[in-house]
Amino acid sequence: MSDNLVISIDGLNSTLNRLTRTGEKMRQQVSKNLVKVGFLVAREASRNSPRREGVLEKQLKFQVVEEGVRVFVPINSPAGRYAERMHDGNYRRGKKTVAKGPRAGRLYIRRAINENKDKIISFSKEGFGTL
């Protein structure tokens, strides 16, 4: 009498392969959706940013990272020296910022996120019904 018990499940290998492919498709879809979020937030933050010479508007970047998306102004860019102060600080809106409209000013990245929450959520759900 043998102590070995063998259980065979038909189709297990194909099911595991399908799960692996689905996982890869999900990773690709998440990455694609994060790029959409990055473009949206960076574009809206640029529209919200204060304006003096227009450098800050052009320096906003985004990067897909493990935790999600980072929207930022590179510290080594022409706007890097003052971007944080313009985002978080208190200052009077100059003529060019005022001319840009009421949405231009401080907290330009944070407001770009908050004002677009519904779109960001829809991007995060987009494309998963087809997997």
Q: Contact at 8 Å (CB) between 106 and 88?
A: yes
Residue 50 token pair: 């204060």
Is 71:41 a contact under the CB 8 Å cutoff?
A: yes
Choose between 87 and 127: higher pLDDT.
87
Are 105 and 50 in contact, with CB atoms under 8 Å apart?
yes
Surface-to-core class of residue 67, CB atoms within 10 Å of its CB (0-12 exposed, 13-18 middle, 19+ buried): exposed
**Whether the predicted pLDDT of 46 surpasses 80:** yes
pTM of the model: 0.80
Annotated domain spans of the chain: 13-123
For residue range 53-111, what is the model confidence (pLDDT) as tens digits? 889 999 999 999 988 999 999 999 999 989 999 999 999 999 999 999 999 999 999 99
